[in-house]
Amino acid sequence: MDQIATPPVSAGTQDARLASLADVAVHVGLNLQPGQELVMTASIEALPLARLITDAAYRAGASLVTTLFADDQQALSRFRYARPDSFDHATGWLFDGMAEAFRRGAARLAIVGDDPNLLAGQDAGQVARANRARAKAYRPALDLITASAINWSLVPYASPAWARAMFPNLPEAQAVDRLWDAIFAATRVDTVDPVAAWAAHNAVLMTRRRMLTGRNYAALRFRGPGTDLTVGLADGHAWMGGQSTARNGVTGNPNIPTEEVFTTPHAARTTGHVAATKPLAYQGTLIRDIRVRFEGGVIVEASASTGQEVLERLIGTDEGARRLGEVALVPASSPISHSGLLFLNTLFDENAASHIALGQAYKKCFVDGDTLDEDAFVSRGGNSSLIHVDWMIGSAEVDVDGLDAQGMAEPLMRAGEWVS
């Protein structure tokens, strides 16, 4: 991976760390190739990072960088003032254009850092309708991403609204500074050589991936307070995590940061009950104390101490929303968990604990995912849905076993840590 040097900035300054994060996004997250286009999305508050990423992308040889900006206040205006019958509409024309860009070889980068409380207090039904419409319209582009047709990545930006939600008792400036410190630590920007640090981290994750794929477990069993869950794994599944190679031949890191190794469950083979170990921030609601029970791969009971209505709408999105599309293992000692922070952002919180995801599965989590057609994907246990929502089920009190085809158990994690 060749890195184009960034113009010098005073070491240790906020500007220097932000420029370093931009380089990580371009060279580690995307591994953007000379001549490749980049389609980037960001909030208007993330403009400083978007500009630095654009600089880094052109220095890396990008042919064109196109950025689509969003504004939280304009999004909120829709739910305050739009006609009730308008929430089933979405910008299909825009997403069709993005899908066409991906088919032509463009890379995809999203800068995330939305206000987790933005839609709190808005009509939950309208929010659900709008999200469903958007998910349907975005599906042609999303299918190319979930099939790893292109190199893509997510990187964070410490927006004031996100910082206020995380640190409500601090003045805004201090909250933003504290969030940036957490982001720079989690993304390895604070190391002497972030690109080298990511290479070393990816090597560790690759070792875990190869071990788990080689053992070809039939299922994983999670046991802990409120949890006794057996997650059957898809036939011919493969483990992913850290770096991955897209079908266009480019190797990058889809998530910055990341601490997980993950694979595809079988859509019909999860049984038992499980209790969430962290709240889930979803659609402006903090869903606490999620408890669900699976039979034959389907959620048959679901409850939460807060956010019950939002949880029910989530799993009612479509038939696949009640089934699993991902299971991931993360040690309880991960740097994000060690921070002790609830980020209210899935990009971070999913890397603090082992987790499961409801909804869409990834074709890349099969040993022959590059050539897997839709019929084979379904027949081997892949789940399809308009959603993909991760929530945390691991902790220092949760043990994980790998089960072979005969049901014999092999310890994988004890008290939230890898056995070997």
Residue 36 pLDDT > 50: yes
Sheet containing 152-156: give its strands across: 64-70, 37-43, 107-112, 152-156
Q: Is residue 394 within 8 Å of residue 417, measured between CB atoms?
A: no
Cα four-point dihedral sign 16, 18, 19, 23: positive
3-state class of 313 per DSSP? helix
C-alpha to C-alpha distance for 206 and 209, rounded to whole angstroms: 5
Angle (nearest 5°) at CA 65 between 243 and 16: 65
Q: Report the C-alpha gap between 349 and 165 in whole angstroms.
A: 14
**SS3 at position 366:** strand
The structure tokens listed for 191 are 């190391």
Beta strand 298-303 pairing with 291-295: antiparallel
Residue 222 β-bridge partners: 229, 400
Per-residue pLDDT reduced to its tens digit, 314-358: 999 999 999 999 999 999 999 999 899 999 998 999 999 999 999
Number of other CB atoms surrounding residue 157 within 10 Å: 22
Q: What is the mean pLDDT of the chain?
A: 94
Can you tell me the mean pLDDT for 119-135? 90
Q: Are 155 and 24 in contact (CB under 8 A)?
A: yes
Phi, psi (5° rounding) for residue 46? -90, 15
Q: Is the pLDDT of residue 372 over 90?
A: no
What pLDDT band is residue 420 in, cutting at 50, 70 and 90? confident
Residue that has been written with the tokens 């899935």 in this structure: 346
Structure tokens at 161: 């609204």
d(CA 145, CA 392): 23
* Structure confidence at residue 124 as a pLDDT band (50, 70, 90): confident
- Residue 239 pLDDT grade (very low, low, confident, very high; cuts 50, 70, 90): very high
All structural domains of the chain, each given as residue ranges with its CATH number in brackets, are 14-186 (3.40.1830.10), 216-239+260-418 (no CATH)
Return the pLDDT at 9: 37
Structure tokens at 58: 């052109």
**Stated pTM of the model:** 0.89
Q: Which two tokens stand for residue 7?
A: 């113009």
| For residues 372-384, average pLDDT | 93
